[in-house]
Amino acid sequence: MSPAELHADSIVIDGLIIAKWNRELFEDMRKGGLTAANCTVSVWEGFKATVDNIAASQKLIRDNSDLVMPVRTTADIRKAKELGKTGILFGFQNAHAFEDQIAYVDVFKQLGVGIVQMCYNTQNLVGTGCYERDGGLSGFGREIVAEMNRVGIMCDLSHVGSKTSEEVILESKKPVCYSHCLPSGLKEHPRNKSDAELKFIADHGGFVGVTMFAPFLAKGIDSTIDDYAEAIEYTMNIVGEDAIGIGTDFTQGHGQDFFEYLTHDKGYARRLTNFGKIINPLGIRTVGEFPNLTETLLKRGHCERVVRKIMGENWVNVLKDVWGE
């Protein structure tokens, strides 16, 4: 197969997109051949605001049903592929929306939420994010993990502190993930994961989605799609070819106000970090350029079987383990 044919034939999954939701984005997803994506509907929001976000997203999906469809099961992902649509999976980047109510975990599962990050950069009732002294997983957090296991929501540890991450990995009875991270072996950064952390999650049946967010890449805004591919390869050499996938962290369509919201604790309090200028790697600056990644991986010597795994098949397998369907 040619690179274009392989991409068109493959299941392509992005494990984390936090772009501006509109029809233009959905059209670009189709252009990029995206089969499904974990789309963020909650970061700093509490229960009600998150429900409002989900309601608005559900309407947007209905209004653009020629391009997208909701995804709750891996069968839905395969159906999206068959229909030539992009499957939208709802995900959180913070367990804050659960507030102090364990029952809300199941409520959000019923609303189509399939992946929840335990913390976003700072402390919450579950545990600690990567920008604070890490106190580990709380007792309440252990109950939340157990309930997420029960209902079939995947635990995500991308923005989570090292100790909390380790304790979630050990506590969870189902696979957990770093949905969007990079190796600190290529660049030291609070959001990047050490070789030991990457190996630990893989050794315990977990999964790693590799991001291309420029501030975490070694060359920053000067990065290219080959630099992104290098990060994928570096990570795969640690976790193996079955535990790796894509999690771009696309922020397409957002302005500076959005990044100010993300980089302050609770969206408004103390500044946690400053990303500076953000430009995605040359060659994959928009969702529509996803086919270039398949081509790049092939050019760098990866066989079709491995490229299919990286681009989406591995995500399908691990999600089936968590969701049970």
CA atoms within 13 A on the CB side of 115: 35
pLDDT band at 120 (very low <50, low <70, confident <90, very high): very high
Residue 276: is its pLDDT beyond 90? no
Q: What is the pLDDT of residue 277?
A: 85
In angstroms, the CA 218 to CA 309 distance is 25
**Mean of the per-residue pLDDT values of the chain:** 97
Q: What is the pLDDT of residue 274?
A: 87
**What percent of the chain is predicted at pLDDT more than 70?**
100
Read off the tokens for 44.
Answer: 């700093």
Q: What is the pLDDT of residue 325?
A: 86
186: which residues sit within 8 A by CB, 6+ positions away?
Answer: 192, 217, 218, 230, 231, 234
Q: What is the pLDDT of residue 37?
A: 98
Q: What is the pLDDT of residue 48?
A: 98
Q: What is the pLDDT of residue 175?
A: 98
Read off the tokens for 231.
Answer: 């990060």
In angstroms, the CA 202 to CA 112 distance is 26
103: which residues sit within 8 A by CB, 6+ positions away?
Answer: none
Contact assessment for residue 208 and residue 201, using Cβ atoms and an 8 Å cutoff: yes
Contact assessment for residue 160 and residue 129, using Cβ atoms and an 8 Å cutoff: yes
Of 181, 257, 245, whose CA–CA distance to 213 is shortest?
A: 181
**CA of residue 149 relative to chain centroid, distance:** 18
pLDDT in tens, 83-101: 999 999 999 999 999 999 9
**pTM (two decimals):** 0.96
**What percent of the chain is predicted at pLDDT more than 90?**
98
pLDDT in tens, 230-265: 999 999 999 999 999 999 999 999 999 999 999 999
110: which residues sit within 8 A by CB, 6+ positions away?
Answer: none
pLDDT in tens, 162-215: 999 999 999 999 999 999 999 999 999 999 999 999 999 999 999 999 999 999
Q: Where are the beta strands (DSSP E) in the chain?
A: 13-17, 36-42, 68-70, 86-92, 113-117, 154-156, 177-181, 207-210, 244-246
In angstroms, the CA 97 to CA 41 distance is 10
| Average pLDDT of span 44-52 | 97
